[in-house]
């Protein structure tokens, strides 16, 4: 039986969003009923709001930055640092929009 808590922990501990294939590989799932069970676990975790399925099919925890995003450059400061923000941001799934300016050094 596939443990949804362990699947969540795997996704949560990954530094980048993960694909269903990467999750299956991590749990030694090769096909048949086990793949169906994995799909059900992922759908349930997504329904509960514990994970989100990003464009492209990668899974991540909410309030995380996507691996790839379209950004809007707001300005370039005098030191050459780029100030930008994500264009497509889903506050319901990803939390509050991250600050577009880094703290003073």
- Convert the pLDDT of each residue in 4-29 to its tens digit: 999 999 999 998 899 999 999 999 99
Average pLDDT over residues 63-88: 81
- Convert the pLDDT of each residue in 57-74 to its tens digit: 899 988 756 667 788 888
Q: Is the pLDDT of residue 102 over 60?
A: no
Average pLDDT over residues 33-51: 91
Q: How confident is the model at residue 55 (pLDDT cuts 50, 70, 90)?
A: confident
CATH architecture type of domain 4-60: Orthogonal Bundle (1.10)
- The domain locations on the chain are 4-60, 69-105
Half-sphere exposure of 27 (CA within 13 A, CB side): 24
Residue 103 Cα distances to 1, 37, 70, 100, angstroms? 46, 44, 22, 10
Percentage of the residues of the chain whose pLDDT score is greater than 70: 82
Determine contact, residues 90/82, Cβ cutoff 8 Å. no
Residue 101's pLDDT is: 58
Q: What angle do CA 69, 70, 74 make, to 5 degrees?
A: 120
Q: How confident is the model at residue 105 (pLDDT cuts 50, 70, 90)?
A: very low
């Amino acid at each position: 039986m596939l443990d949804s808590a362990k699947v969540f922990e795997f996704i949560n501990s990954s530094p980048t969003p993960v694909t269903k294939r990467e999750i299956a590989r991590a749990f030694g799932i090769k096909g048949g009923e086990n793949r169906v069970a994995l799909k059900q676990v992922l759908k349930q975790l997504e329904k509960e709001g514990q994970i989100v399925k990003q464009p492209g099919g990668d899974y991540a925890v909410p309030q995380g930055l996507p691996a790839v995003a379209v950004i809007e450059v707001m300005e370039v400061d005098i030191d050459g640092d780029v100030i930008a923000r994500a264009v497509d941001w889903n506050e319901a799934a990803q939390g509050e929009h991250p600050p577009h300016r880094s703290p003073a050094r």
